Amino acid sequence: MGYFANDRQSDKLNNQLKPSILQTFGDIANAIGVHFEKYLTVVAQVLQQAASVSVAPDVSYDMLDYILSLREGIVDAWGGILLAFKDTPKGELEILRILNCADMIAS
């Protein structure tokens, strides 16, 4: 998980891969279920940081496409995390983080 988080922040990595890294967090969470809890704090911080990327008025189409893909990756990641913790008290708590992240994306 640490490698994914570091790669997502790397300047050397192509922007096209970064949204896929976020989606992978959700896939891993969905695959390992509640065992994902030990990674949850770090992944939630990464997702919130990614959600803080904003669109400038003079943004290029390529950058806009990247930001939209990033937001899709964030939503996919949270979807996998929610599925991992469905029917658990942790799942209910994560809804608050997701709503906060969604608010950042919407603004």
**Which among 80, 32, 30, 71 is positioned nearest to 48, based on CA atoms?**
71
Q: For residue range 87-99, what is the model confidence (pLDDT) as tens digits?
A: 887 766 677 777 7
Nearest-angstrom CA–CA distance, 33 and 30: 5
Nearest-angstrom CA–CA distance, 60 and 40: 33
pTM for the model stands at: 0.79
In single-letter form, the type of residue at position 49 comes to Q
Q: For residue range 15-69, what is the model confidence (pLDDT) as tens digits?
A: 778 889 899 999 999 999 999 999 988 998 889 888 888 888 898 998 899 999 9
Domain range annotation of the chain: 2-11+18-106
Contact 52, 14 (CB under 8 A): no
